[in-house]
Amino acid sequence: MKKILSLVIGLSLASVCFAQTDPVIGFWLSVDEKTNKVSAGWQIYVENDILYGKILSVPDQPRDALATECKDSYKNFPVAGKVNKMPLAGTPFIFGLTQHSPGEWRNGNVIDPNDGNIYGCRVIFREAGSRIPGKMFQTDTLEMRGNLGPFNRSQFWRKTDQATASGQWPN
Residues 86-101: pLDDT tens digits?
999 999 999 999 999 9
Beta carbons within 8 Å of 7's beta carbon, 6+ residues apart: none
pLDDT for the residue 21 = 87
> In this predicted model, what pLDDT tens digit does every residue of 27-38 receive, in sequence order?
999 998 889 899
Q: Is the pLDDT of residue 7 over 80?
A: no
| CATH class name, domain 2-165 | mainly beta
pLDDT for the residue 73 = 96
Distances (CA, A) of 86 to 8, 9, 37, 55: 38, 37, 25, 12
Q: Is the pLDDT of residue 53 over 70?
A: yes
On whether the CB atoms of residues 96 and 106 are closer than 8 A, the answer is: no
Q: In the chain, where are the structural domains located?
A: 2-165
Report pTM: 0.84
